[in-house]
Amino acid sequence: MLIMKFGGSSLSDARCVAQVAALVAQARATDPELVVVVSAMAGATNALFAAARAACSNREAARERLEALRARHEEAARALLQTPQELEAALSTLAGHIDDVARYCDSIATLGEASVRTLDLVAGAGERLSSTLLAARLREAGVAAEAVPATELIVSDAHFGAAEPVLEASRPRVQARLWPLVRRGAVPVVTGYIAATADGVPTTLGRGGSDFTAAILGACLDAGAVWIWTDVDGILTADPNIVAEARTLAELSYADAATLAAFGAEVLHPKTVAPLVERGIPLQLLNTFHPTHPGTRIVRQPALDGPRPPAIISTRGLRLLEVAGNGGCWTTAVAGRALSALAGASVEVLMFSQSFSERTLSLLVRQSEAEASLAALEREFSDDLARGLLAEVTCLSQVGTISVVGGAGRDGATLVPKTFAALGRLDAQIVSVAQSVSEYHVSVVVPEEQVDDTVRFIHRELNT
Ligand code: ASP
Ligand code: MG
């Protein structure tokens, strides 16, 4: 049994979906036991969140966003499907999903607020839409396929926005639903990212959670391998769009891959390796647009043992929020309240730090969530601001992060000083620093426009 998962950039338009269908058909020719997992089309999940948040204050703005999403999926369906029955069926399924979301947004508009539970209902629609498109395309290409919502398969806790799967409860459901399909020669096209509580209430596994879905299904089905298809050649020493000399890390241990993912290597969701470890299921990261490249293989014990070069992980499009104290009455409770308020708004805080001397709290969030974050913080602290207990809550300029993650055993103790020495030579402006207990990793926040130059410089310095 092989699990193949395709990310949003592999499904960004009709041409990409057709390419994915071709890869699935090809894989099925050699491995008839195949399960496919899909993310939403690139940007669709962000658009759904934006619609839900817009609905809180502006019903019409939410509608407009949903209509744009409907048009995008309908256009893809028309380009992908020639058979009138397939096209008609797909259009009606797509319309059903969008209409559901429109109803949820109407309730949000009526209430004037969106709970994390409702946000999960809305956010999960992207995968329902993309799985409908891919399954239909596969059938058109002569490959039996069925779109399967993971709400029927994966049981999770009720931690909306970042639910934890319950593997023991999911295993029998996954097997009972997917094996009959596979035995009958069909390819299940399962929605990534979503699950449901034991009572059937839809949840999501957290942003980027489709990788995790693939691993959960792999564990539940005792798969021989899980392949994750993205738009880069696996995990590299740096982003190849920034550093031309970046090299693919051919093989990594589960532990090493989990660390890189935790530092924001966007090709892999941090929780993905955990379900695979116990059964020793190998994970392969491949490039949809360069399928002959072997990518990165993640296993328990890499055959090519020995030190690996450090990897530089950079992220752009982030925003630093600041909660500033007003002299005396600062307590650490401010941090607790800020984090809870953001969790309540389904915002993921990527990094945070509190300075003693200045009595400020800095929180790093995605640009797309900056407005919602600021609103949540202003709501939480409105009373404190009015009473002058806090000075202000602000949204600072756009930033990026750069993390240098070494492989244990190589240059350990010198990696962090070398990185700082390089930053010093470049005269880079560092907004914030986070260093872990380990001497193998360090992260810095820099102004967004300086990310690329800084990454190129550090990559050169560390690889000489
Ligand atoms: N579509 C979801 C997201 O954008 C899940 C994923 O892509 O893995 O976060
Ligand atoms: Mg992803």
Could you list the mean pLDDT of each consecutive 10-residue stretch along the chain, which spans 464 residues?
98 98 96 97 97 96 98 98 98 98 98 95 98 98 97 98 97 98 98 98 97 98 98 94 95 91 86 96 98 96 79 94 86 92 92 82 93 96 94 94 81 80 89 76 92 96 85
Q: State in Å: Cα 382 to ligand 2 middle.
A: 36
CA gap 129, 133 in Å, rounded: 7
Domain 2-305: CATH superfamily, name plus number: Acetylglutamate kinase-like (3.40.1160.10)
CA gap 67, 59 in Å, rounded: 12
Could you count the other beta carbons within 10 Å of the beta carbon of residue 196? 22
206 Cβ below 6 A of ligand 1: no
CA gap 363, 397 in Å, rounded: 12
Q: State in Å: Cα 7 to ligand 2 middle.
A: 6
pTM for the model stands at 0.89
Q: What is the pLDDT of residue 194?
A: 98
Q: What is the pLDDT of residue 439?
A: 72
CATH code: domain 312-462 is 3.30.2130.10
Q: What is the pLDDT of residue 441?
A: 86
Task: Tell which residue, 289, 261, 276, 205, has the closest CA to residue 405.
Answer: 261
45 Cβ below 6 A of ligand 1: yes
CATH 3.40.1160.10 location in the chain: 2-305
28 Cβ below 6 A of ligand 1: no
Q: State in Å: Cα 388 to ligand 1 middle.
A: 40
CA gap 301, 287 in Å, rounded: 23
CATH 3.30.2130.10 location in the chain: 312-462
Collapsing DSSP to helix, strand or coil, 142 comes out as coil
Say if residues 59 and 106 touch (Cβ distance below 8 Å). Answer: yes
Q: What is the pLDDT of residue 437?
A: 65
Please give the structure tokens belonging to residue 290: 């360069």
Give the mutation target among 38, 210, 216 for probing the ligand 1 site: most ligand atoms within 8 A of CB: 210
Planar angle of CA 381, 387, 392, nearest 5 degrees: 50
Q: At what angle do helices 125-140 and 14-30 cross, to 10 degrees?
A: 60
DSSP one-letter code for 9: G
Closest approach atom of ligand 1 to CA 206: 9
Closest approach atom of ligand 1 to CA 211: 8
Nearest CA to ligand 1 atom 8: 208
Closest approach atom of ligand 1 to CA 40: 1
Task: Tell which residue, 73, 220, 194, has the closest CA to residue 124.
Answer: 194
Nearest CA to ligand 1 atom 2: 208
Could you count the other beta carbons within 10 Å of the beta carbon of residue 389? 16
CA gap 360, 404 in Å, rounded: 26
